[in-house]
Amino acid sequence: MFIIFGFGRLTFKRYGYRDLGPCPRCGQARPAELMKVTTWFTLFFIPVIPYRFEYVLACAGCGYAVKISKVDFEAMTGGASHGSVGSLGEGPKVELSDELKYAGKTPTQIQYLKYMEEREKRNNE
């Protein structure tokens, strides 16, 4: 008798699109799709036990994905635990962590972006 098992089957639960500004890779201001990626242990090719969860924002244009923390994910979904396809800008407005905001940027680019944000903040006061 053979028991066939495996690791690494992925499933994606989509939580709609968020407008978060320019993509770190392509630089275009396109919406990002919020997803929860689950990795499963399988038995006879049937997903049985989830053993890893990752939270991802994927650019709608180029497909570049950035992992985010569970805290950021819950803030963007409002703590929702079910998947739903939403419209652009759905969900509460949140302040992104620096790790996510500056993903894929060089130290020089990060310094410039922080300078521009501070300048914009002073102009709006």
Q: How many CB atoms lie within 10 A of CB 54?
A: 15
**Residue 66's beta-bridge partner residues?**
57
Tens-digit pLDDT profile for residues 70-91: 888 888 887 654 444 443 344 4
Q: Is the pTM of this model over 0.75?
A: no
- Structurally, the chain folds into a number of domains equal to 1
Tens-digit pLDDT profile for residues 10-33: 888 888 888 877 887 888 888 888
Distance CA 15, CA 80 (A): 9
Question: Containing domain of residue 94, as a range?
Answer: 5-124
Q: What angle do CA 113, 105, 56 make, to 5 degrees?
A: 110
Distance CA 3, CA 113 (A): 54
Tens-digit pLDDT profile for residues 34-82: 999 898 888 877 888 888 899 998 888 888 888 888 888 888 887 654 4
